[in-house]
Amino acid sequence: MDFFTWKDSFCIGIERLDDQHRSFFECLNDCHAQTVTNKRATLDEALLARLKAYAAEHFETEEDMMRFFGYPDIRPQQRQHKYFASQVVDFEQAQARGNPASAQSVLNFVRDWFLEHVLAEDKKFAVFMAEKNSNGDGSLSRY
pLDDT at 82: 96
CA-wise closest residue to 81 among 59, 107, 48: 59
First to last CA, the chain: 32
Contacts of 73 (CB under 8 A, 6+ apart): 124, 125, 128
For residues 32 and 81, which has the higher predicted lDDT (pLDDT)?
Answer: 81
What is the longest distance spanned by two Cα atoms in the chain? 54
What distance in Å separates the CA atoms of residue 64 and residue 58, rounded to the nearest whole number?
Answer: 10
What distance in Å separates the CA atoms of residue 65 and residue 49, rounded to the nearest whole number?
Answer: 24
Q: How far is CA 83 from the centre of its chain?
A: 12
Please report, as a single letter, which amino acid is at residue 129: M
Which residue stretches of the chain are H helix?
A: 15-35, 45-69, 74-96, 103-113, 122-132
Report which DSSP code applies to 117: I
Please report, as a single letter, which amino acid is at residue 24: F
**What residues does each domain of the chain span?**
14-134
Contact between 101 and 87 under an 8 Å Cβ cutoff? The reply is no
For residues 61 and 45, which has the higher predicted lDDT (pLDDT)?
Answer: 61
Looking at the domain covering 14-134, what would its CATH class be? mainly alpha
Q: What average pLDDT does range 26-40 have in this prediction?
A: 81
pLDDT at 31: 86
Q: Identify the band that residue 112 occupies on the pLDDT scale cut at 50, 70 and 90.
A: very high
Q: Is 76 helix (H, G, I), strand (E, B) or coil?
A: helix
